[in-house]
A = this chain, B = another copy of it.
C-alpha cells in the first residue's frame, strides 16, 4: 500500500487512467475492501463502471462523476473498436451506455452533471467535426473525461484553501462518512479542508463517525487520516451528541451528494442528525461542496431522490450477519439537511454563509 502514502492526499489515487493505442483502461481502488485490502479493480466498459458505482467500489459524489465520465470514454473507445457498427448503431449504443451509467445511483448529482458534460462534448464534436468518425469522437470524450478528472483535484484544493480559514488552530472537527481523497479525484472535499488547514500549519484533530451501514468513516476516513498522521478518533454514529454535550467538538465538516437550489443538503444518512445536534450546541456546521454538486433544477431537498439500498447492509456487515432473522429493514442511503441548519457552504468560488437560493444562483453568474 506504499503508493497510497502521501503528504496531502494527492497520492491516494482513487481513479487511474491507463492509455493504450485505440483503447484504454480505468483502474479504481476497491473501496468495498479497504482498509483490510488495498487493491485496484480494472474496467474497460461503461457496464463495468456502472457496476462499480452501484456496488460502491467507487463512491463519493465527485469520484462517481469522474468514474462515469471515464465510463462514457471507455464505451466510445470500445464501440469504435467494433468496426461493424454504423453511425446510427454507434450513437444508439453510446446513448444506452450513458443511460446505464446515469441509472447506477440516484442521489449524487455529480453523476448526471458529468454525463451532461460528456454529452455536451459529444454534441459539440459532432458539430465541429461532422463525419469525422467514431475514433476522433472517442478521443475527444477521453480528453473531456481527463479534464473533469484533473479539474476535480484543482477544485478541491481551492475549496480547501477557502475552508481552512474557517478552522482555528487546535480545532476538533467532526466529520461523517468519507468526503476525502477516496470520494474525489484527490485531496477531498471535507477532508480536503482539513488537509489544507493542516498544511497551513494548524493543529487539527478529526472525530470520525463510523457511518453505518457501509462504515465509510471507520474504514475510509480513518485510513486516509492514519496515512497522513492527522490525529483521528473513531466513534459510532450515536456518540456525536454526547461528545458535543461534553464540549469536545468545535466544528462539523461534511461533504454532500446534492445541494438543492434553496440550499438544502443531501448527504450520507445521519448527516441530518449531526446538523440538528450541532445547531443545538451552537457548533458551526460546514458543507464542502463543489459547484458540480449544486443542482439548481431541484427547488428543495424534498425533490431529491433518496436511494434505498439492500437490507443485508443493515442486518450485518459483509458476510457477518448479526440481526435476528425475519426482521424488516429500512436502508435509506442519504438524508436531507435543511438549509437553515447549514452555517456555510464551502465552494471553490468561496464561502457561502447561510446559503439560500439567491446566493447559490449568484455563484454561477
Using a CB–CB cutoff of 8 Å, the interface residues on chain A facing chain B are 35-36, 176, 207-213, 215, 218-219, 222-223, 225-226, 231-243, 245, 269-270, 272-273, 276-277, 280, 306, 314-315, 317-318, 320, 322-332, 335-336
Contact of A276 among B176, B226, B241, B328 (CB under 8 A): B241
How many copies the complex holds: the figure is: 2
Contact of A222 among B239, B273, B317, B327 (CB under 8 A): B327
Residues of B within 8 A of A234 (CB): 314-315, 323, 327-330
Contact of A245 among B235, B320, B328, B336 (CB under 8 A): B336
The answer to whether A329 touches B238 (Cβ under 8 A) is no
The answer to whether A218 touches B35 (Cβ under 8 A) is no
| Known A-B contacts A213-B236, A215-B322, A233-B329; A280 and B269 likewise in contact (beta carbons under 8 Å) | no
Residues of B within 8 A of A326 (CB): 226
Not counting A36-B322, A208-B327, A242-B306, a sample of 4 additional A-B residue pairs whose C-beta atoms are within 8 angstroms of each other reads A35-B322, A212-B236, A237-B238, A318-B320
Closest-by-CB residue of B relative to A215 is B322
The answer to whether A315 touches B218 (Cβ under 8 A) is yes
Residues of B within 8 A of A317 (CB): 317, 320, 322
